[in-house]
Structure 1
Amino acid sequence: MSWAWEYDPSEDHVAGGAPPALIAEVEKKADELVRAAAALYLDGPAHQGPSPRGENVLVPGGMFFCQVVPRHERVYLLQITAW
């Protein structure tokens, strides 16, 4: 397995109705978060202890809430909010 991001529970549920420009910004930032998590958790599946807390991430045009789960080697995008 290798680090990646994904919408949870689905892209339609999380990103449905969000402007395409916002979705592009969210996905670009999610790529950055994946690279950072991969560098921080070198052996994700062997991670001991709790996962980091979820966080709100600001991007142009809105924000999103995500959760890093080292044992899954995933950054889960849970909610997108446009403004």
Structure 2
Amino acid sequence: MSWKGEYAFGAEEATRTAPAEFLRAVEVGADELVRAAEALRVHGRAPRGIDPEGTEVIVPGGMFRYQIVVRSERVYIAQITYLGF
């Protein structure tokens, strides 16, 4: 299994109304988080301790909130917020 990024919760529903340019920015940011998680947590299937705390990432047009789940080797996009800036 390898690390992947996925939309979770209501974030997937919110992608239906968000502009395509904003969603591309979210996906680029999520891809960077996936690469970093994979590099820092090579042995994700045998985790020690609790999962790292997720936070917000600002991207052009808004922001998104993510959560890393080490045991599943996933970076979940939990919330996206389009602000239009």
TM-score (norm 1): 0.92
**What pairs up with 1:1-83 in 2 under 5 angstroms?**
1-9=1-9, 12-83=12-83
- Which ranges of structure 1 fall in alignment gaps of 5 or more residues? none
- Judged with a 3 Å threshold, the aligned counterparts in structure 2 of structure 1 residues 14 and 70 are, in CA distance, closer, same or farther, namely farther
> Would you say the 8 A contact 1:14–1:78 is kept in 2?
no
Aligned residues: 83
CA shift for structure 1 position 15 = 1.8
Q: Which has the higher helix share?
A: 1
Runs of 5+ unmatched residues, structure 2: none
Tell me the distance in 2 between the aligned counterparts of 1:14 and 1:79: 8
Secondary structure of the equivalent of 1:65?
Answer: strand
RMSD: 1.3
Q: Which secondary structure does the structure 2 equivalent of 1:63 belong to?
A: strand
- Could you tell me whether the CA contact under 8 Å between 1:7 and 1:14 is conserved in 2? no
Identity of counterpart residues, as a percentage?
Answer: 49
Moved over 2 A (4+): 9-12
Supply the distance in 1 between the matched residues of 2:12 and 2:2 (Cα, whole angstroms). Answer: 24
